Structure 1
Amino acid sequence: MSTSRPIRVTFLTFYYEAWDALAGVYELMRADARFDVRVVAISRRLTGEAGFDDAAGVSAFFDRLGIEHQVNADLAGLFDGAAPDYIFVNYPWQRNYAPQYRPDALAAVARIAYVPYFSLPLVQEPVDGVNPSSGFEPIAAHLYTQRMHQVASLVFTQDEFTRDAFALTQRGNTHVHFVGSTKLDQLVADYAAATEVAGVAGGGAAGADAAGADAPSKTLLWAPHHSYSSHWLNFGNFVQIHEDMLHWASEHPDWRVILRPHPFLFGTLIDRKVMPAGELESWLNWWNSLPNTSIDVASSSAQVFAQASHILTDGISYLAEWPLATGRSPIFLEHAGHWEFSPLGEVAAATAHKISMIGELDAAIALMGLGFDRVIELAELHAAALPNPGRTAHRIVEVVAADFEAGSDLVDVAAITEIPWELQSNREPLE
């Protein structure tokens, strides 16, 4: 379908913490005469929160980046009265979207293009989606069977295994493209820029030796995950070790400790009654009172990585992202009974120094100080996770251009009869 007008593309997001999944595509399209690009910041309700916010946080984020945007705009008339041709999203969980921006509403306006908000699928899912004792499936069902996946015109995956899983669905996988990870490409590039500004050498697996030599001294990044139960991932250790970490920080005044909580952590702890609100508030007051501790929820992952010499994480994404960006091994505080790693997750976990309690942290740091980064494992992860480093966003742009030229139709949402993952039994309700 040849046309003289630019392709109208909207980047729609509330999950600005993962804007790096879309940033490279946005920058390329913004500089490409084939595209007319608009950005829309929308309200969100994260897990554990009672209602939707006013989008002030995501709007402020775009302001800091100097990205022109609209807030909670009417998409149907966004382009001087015309609708977009494509709406890019980086987040599939529809319960966190206001109703007017949920998948069916978006698909009625334009072609949805979904780029995953996370870097890599590192964990397997229980076969029945609920009970880990039933065994695990190789590709988690929520990675390809949510409503956003079902009604997207274009889906971009970071690995061939997820692309192949889409073939099992009603629509198949002709609309699914294995392109690599925009998030990881952006992370590696941003980390290199952040370390250059900070005067830190290296970055990425190829620069591991330099990065290890010149990284900031004695700064520990502590990144706890929000999962806490065998019903969902079960990686988080915050409740078990938060007092131990407070003690460790107080006993190591020569160390700077940056707490980087998962965005859902504190809200989920209270909402799910894992910790009393008063206990968490008291702990946070103690943490913030120490001279060598801080909490960073504003910096990008690359920026906070560039401030640290070591990372302690019990979570998932940073277990792969830290070694890919920095070329250094993470310290993995492994929670007994966590859900099984995917094959790619096993590769990522192999790069780490594993500990089971904070009492083992000093020994792990000492071992790394002797140069015991897992060099072979780091190289294997780099090869598996970055098959086409630095080119993922370019590939996405060309797929969109080709799809528009071919004149693809909007998805007929009424024809999709499969029950989406989030509406199956034992899932969280939309409201």
Structure 2
Amino acid sequence: VLTKPDLMDKGTEHNILNIIRNKVIPLSKGYILVKCRGQKQIDENISLEMATQMEAEFFKNHEVFSCLMNEDKATVKCLATKLSQCLVDHIKKSLPLLSEKIKRQIWDLKSELKGCESGPPLDPQEAKNFLITTLTGFNDMIKDLSLGELINGELTSRDLNCEDNLFVQLRAEFKSWNDNLDQTKESFQQSIRIFKDHSQKCRGRELLGFSNYKVIEKLLQECLKNLKDPAIESLSVTKDIIHKQFTKVSEQCFKSYPYLLTVTKNKIDNIHLKQQAKAEQRILEQFEMENLIFTQDAIYLKVLNEIGKPEETFSEDNLPVFDNKSMYSEMLQAYYQIVVQRMADQVPMLILYLMLRETARLLRTEMLSLMDGAQNAFQMMFCSYYLHNIDYPVEIGATLEFLQRCMFKINPDQGTKVSRKEKGRQYTMNPRVLSLISKIANFEWTE
């Protein structure tokens, strides 16, 4: 836009004319020459209409620039026409893209609205059945989770993917426990070497050449004592893994029902604490039983033959052959290997049974007990649903309605006309929500 044509020096008009005709510095949209109001005219409060007429007269009477009037390259009026046309062209170009974007947003919002639960029914009998169905669905998912059932590589509890597979995580923790047991074999061999070096200091009333079994018992019991803390730590880690998965299932089932979600989480916490205490007691009892130092003779001889030298064979018939101190190392290693294998299986089995299987059973029973007070439970469930979800569907519904209106204005053939009575704020919402809100708010609703 070039201005102040009345202030140009005589003789320079033709150069300006060449510029306006895009011959000097070409521009894609070209040039337009306008004559604005001067400061004097502004001070004299000359109207825009009068200024427009004065501008038109100036260009018509100008000996050089008058030709620009016929070319639509002079006056503010031509500038306004040019800019309006540019805007219209830009809108025409942008409308298909805007329409496509709105279509995607409408599709996403409709999908999101489909994900919003319809909520508890208002009829008392239907409401009771709804509560039963909801609790049964949760119990089924907990049962599936405790059994680790997989369908097409995914847990039956839908949103829990393979990375969240409970048994994958548990096996990783139990492998860590087994690796820890294997690592203690080296320290146990060190204990055996110390025992052999100080066997004379450990000698009791027995005559020279006789064995003191109590000393051997003490050595094994001391080594077993060192395994207690890692076993309790494994129990604690496993408890956290199971608790996290149970909580995730409850959040998935009751995300729209804060009351049920709170009740369920409290039940999970209480049951897990009790089961953890019971499992810890059972593990400690297992270690107390291990202090008895017992295994079947057949098992002991089998392991002893596996770790012994190839040329040596151990059996009940040749007991005098290996009943001497030179064989203590192999004998102790054989028994400790039996203990490690026994603990590697027994501790995880105790944890799985008490912390997973029993916890799942107790939780399912506790959830069914909610049916004893079904009316109160449902009332709290109903109220918490609408208090929790009242804003979210409103926001989505209002946004969807707005986009549908935009779509209809852009392209009436593809858009959906949305009609309603205007009276205050209005939203498109779930009918059950509308029936609840209409009782407490001064709104008129349309479908």
For Structure 1 versus Structure 2, the TM-score category normalised by the shorter chain is under 0.3
Please tell me whether Structure 1 or Structure 2 has the larger radius of gyration of its CA atoms.
Answer: 2
Higher strand content, 1 or 2 = 1
Instruction: With the length of structure 1 as denominator, give the TM-score of the two structures.
Output: 0.25
Instruction: With the length of structure 2 as denominator, give the TM-score of the two structures.
Output: 0.24
